Amino acid sequence: MKKVLFFLIILILFIVFVVHNNSDPGVIISELVKKNDIRQGDLKYRINLFGIIPIGEATLSLERQVEYKGLKVYHLNATAAPLKYYAKFFKGSAELDSYVDLDTLNPVLFKQKVEAPGKENPYKGFLTIRKTALCL
């Protein structure tokens, strides 16, 4: 009985250590610095089930300056999807677009597209704010 309890305690400590290392930004950044692997571009994140099993990937694209209805805005884009290994088991994806006013940094437009089995309409959460409405 003591051996089983000892094994469970060791297993729980190991899981806590792995989850901490996989989700702590400080640990992740220090590992990237050690490997000299910090570079400019899109941010890619691994999505882990229970903090251990990698099942998906999320990408945050670099902001771009574009024009939207006469306003200069930042266009921010993020996507998420399952890894190719799990595409047969976990179906679904998400794409988010946000447009932010360059001067005030207030949101101008937000679009969200979430595709999942059994969902009819993948578009959700449209929000448009006019520039004049933001001025008080």
Residue with tokens 């640990």: 27
> Distance between CA atoms of 49 and 105, rounded to whole angstroms?
34
pLDDT band at 49 (very low <50, low <70, confident <90, very high): confident
Which residues on neighbouring strands pair with residue 115, listed in sequence order?
93
From its phi and psi, is residue 32 left (phi > 0), alpha (psi between -120 and 50) or beta?
Answer: alpha
Per-residue pLDDT tens over the stretch 62-98 = 778 888 888 888 898 999 988 888 777 778 888 988 8
Amino acid identity for residue 6 in this structure = F
Average the pLDDT over 42-62 and give the result. Answer: 82
> Distance between CA atoms of 99 and 134, rounded to whole angstroms?
14
Asked if pLDDT for residue 26 goes beyond 60, the answer is: yes
pLDDT at 135: 35
pLDDT band at 10 (very low <50, low <70, confident <90, very high): very high
pTM: 0.62
End-to-end Cα, the chain, rounded Å: 69
